[in-house]
Amino acid sequence: MSTPLKGRTAIVTGAGRGLGRAEALELARLGANVIVNDYGLPGRDGTGGADATPAHQVAEEIRTAGGTAIAHTGDVADHEQAAQLVQAAIDTYGRLDILVNNAGILRDRMIFSMTEDEWDSVIRVHLKGHYNTTHFAARHWRERAKASGAPVFGRIVNTSSEAFLAGSAGQPNYAAAKGGIVGLTTSTALALAKYGVTANVICPRARTRMTEDVFAGFAEPAEGLDPLAPEHVAPLVGYLVSPAAANVNGQLLVVHGGMVAIVERPRVRAKFDTAKEVFTYEELDALLTPHYKERPPTETFAAAEVLSLKRD
């Protein structure tokens, strides 16, 4: 069995269930020491002792399969607890090599019905949670690179969503957070490249506890692996954090159901210059109104066509 991550240490957040669990298991299968992070009560149903949390259960699953793992139950959206998570990797295994940010929640609502708390909580867990762990991991890698005088091995995989790409009408908080994560990733990719660190972002589609309502209308097949199974996503994460992906940096990839799509960066569709020193309302009206007149009203900056992507 190939173990390209042997000797590497990885953090996976939100790894007690769903996508994060599948990713943690895959990284362990590829040889990594895994810190399984998941914030929550003991036991999947809120019962059991301190070692019965979802994070502990997945860590035990990894160890039973012959891998190496510990659990961490801190809240990544809390700055100090995120620092403790990164420090746990360093204290236990000597260093951190891989960070997979997956933790998140949903509070779906139309923009006119959304409460302030529904907005703040989703932004906090997704966007701030990604920032917190990335901040402390980046500091660790920068300090190591400066101490050694050479680049180190560092990999970040962040989790965005097709909700950002397609403009999900019922998820303004989630879409905004996921769009922010893309910006965070591309900025981080440029900032850390000189230290030997790559940062990429995936838009996965998977049936998990968090998305069970979203995919309620998509029945699981009677036979074979569910096209929405998290196991379709985990191998791409394993690749992106491996030495083989050294030249993959600042990229956005959509993944689900046996398919990986590389999303092109935005491109300029049209450009207009003023014939005078500065635009006037009348000049803009003459230029932009005809340009948009024939465009379908549903054609926006959002790329709704990504929702139709599937394995051929």
Give percent of the chain above pLDDT 70: 90
Res 43: pLDDT: 47
CA distance 161 to 79: 23
Name which of 292, 285, 252 is nearest 270 in CA terms.
Answer: 292
- Residues designated as active site: 161, 174, 178
pLDDT greater at residue 300 or residue 150: 150
Tens-digit pLDDT profile for residues 34-81: 999 999 765 444 444 556 799 999 999 999 999 999 999 999 999 999
Tens-digit pLDDT profile for residues 117-161: 999 999 999 999 999 999 999 999 999 999 999 999 999 999 999
Q: Average pLDDT for residues 302-312, to the nearest whole number? A: 87
Instruction: Give 224's pLDDT tier (boundaries 50, 70, 90).
Output: low
